[in-house]
């Protein structure tokens, strides 16, 4: 039962992300403004909740990512992903990977 629930939850989340991507890419400007007003705060809240679940301990290790036996080398992929997408300069990030920066850049109207 957990497998079905996890699959359903996963599909719902991925479908929502696809929908938001399509709105950000294809919607008209008023719709994008509404999207920004409603979705950005939900996304930042989601990131904060996720990051709180991965808050490092007093030694800087993430207990959520660590197994009991590998606690010493528990690097948190959630914090690395957050930094890569929320902090790192998308132009420089793209240049180092050789990809297009356009997808990650904020565009003005
Ligand atoms: Zn973690």
Tell me the per-residue pLDDT of 21-31, one tens digit each, with 9 for 90 and over. Answer: 999 999 999 99
Between the CA of 96 and the centroid of ligand 1 the distance, in Å, is 25
| Ligand 1 is an ion; residues with CB less than 5 A from it | 54, 62, 64-65, 76, 78
Instruction: Kindly give the distance from the C-alpha atom of residue 66 to the centroid of ligand 1, in angstroms, as a whole number.
Output: 7
Q: Output the furthest CA–CA distance in the chain (Å, rounded).
A: 52
Mean pLDDT calculated for residue range 5-17: 94
Q: Which of the 8 DSSP states describes residue 109?
A: -
pLDDT averaged over every residue in the chain:
82
Whether the predicted pLDDT of 51 surpasses 90: yes
CA–CA separation, 43 and 70 (whole Å): 31
Distance CA 44, CA 54 (A): 15
- The residue whose two tokens read 């240049």 is 95
pLDDT above 80 (res 65) = yes
């Amino acid at each position: 039962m957990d497998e079905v629930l996890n699959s359903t939850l996963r599909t719902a989340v991925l479908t929502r992300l696809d929908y938001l991507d399509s709105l950000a890419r294809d919607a008209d400007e008023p719709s994008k403004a509404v999207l920004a007003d409603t979705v950005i705060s939900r996304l930042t809240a989601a990131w904060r909740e996720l990051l709180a679940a991965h808050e490092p301990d007093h030694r800087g290790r993430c207990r959520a990512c660590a197994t009991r036996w590998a606690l010493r080398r528990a690097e948190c992929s959630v914090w690395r992903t957050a930094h890569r997408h929320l902090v790192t300069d998308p132009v420089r990030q793209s240049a180092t990977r050789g990809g297009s920066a356009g997808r990650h850049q904020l565009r003005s109207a």
